[in-house]
Copies of this chain bind each other. A is one copy, B any other.
């Protein structure tokens, strides 16, 4: 079986595993205060052009979203997100389990607009009795989104401006951030991200690491006591060095960006291969998730040899599906997939 159903089907980048072996006998203190974590922090702060940022390493995405969001909100506040946001649909109510409602905004492409946030904010505060409903307390977006789309710099600036005017911290879920940074049409750098939001994270799990997400807190008022929150939410890894070593490797000389680019190359190869065959796509994704609309007949045949994610029925005979590439995707597999689809037409 050749797997395209997600971007975490392989282990880790080989350089990471080798580094783990090399450092295996070192003795370090636990819980993320070792030298590897410190070096990784320094590299990340430099990459973000944010010397005053706080950088923390957590294990997974749901955990990271839960920890960040619950550390920011007061009990009567909720987090604003796209109706298709990961926190809204694919985290088994992890945010609600910490007591907070997700205030969803409609979205066709996974993005939300500055105007939507402003309108929701105004609607709340113009209500005659706002205390009967959940107060918007922060905004959550993903870059790239669940649909593979990316925010442009001007879109992020507009969101950032509204958030700051409304006093709503802006949190960017970067589980696939690398893929967003290097997309061909991206005009957003890591430093831009750091400048425009209050807190974000750099995903390792889907880009080269065994696991791990690096939270970068820019807003000083959100920094306080964050390690307590990580511990309480189960994210303070005893052998914190495992995360430090991985991010050290990914950020010491640009490996993170380099391997992200490979995923995008593979995604574009696939996109072009299918476009040329006349297939259309559910979303205009320029990142590593591609959502072609294919005949159910072809999909059925493909499923004997390939894995992909079913996305949604488009009509009686067609479905949108998701193919993911990653840092580890082999070019020959993409080419084979394109050929096989062609042969099935």
Q: Enumerate chain A interface residues (CB-CB to B < 8 A).
A: 1-3, 5-6, 8-12, 14, 17, 20-21, 23-31, 59-64, 66-67, 70-71, 74-76, 78, 89-94, 96-102, 128-135, 205-206, 210-211, 225, 227-239, 241-242, 307, 309-310, 328
Contact = CB atoms under 8 A, between A and B. Distances in A.
Contacts of A66: 234
A131 B211 contact: no
A24 B92 CA distance: 29
Among the interface residues A97, A99, A129, which one has the most CB atoms of the partner chain B within 10 A? A97
The secondary-structure label for the interface of chain A is loop
- Give the number of copies in the complex: 4
A132 B91 contact: yes
Nearest to A310: B128
Nearest to A128: B310
A96 B228 CA distance: 14
A78 B228 CA distance: 12
Contacts of A91: 132, 231-232
Given A14-B24, A29-B9, A133-B89, A62 B98 contact: no
Contact of A93 (B2, B9, B101): B101
B92 A76 contact: yes
A76 B59 CA distance: 19
A127 to B, nearest CB: 9
Nearest to A14: B24
Contacts of A26: 10-11
A35 to B, nearest CB: 11
Contacts of A205: 238-239
A237 B211 contact: yes
Contacts of A101: 93, 96, 102
A73 B205 CA distance: 32
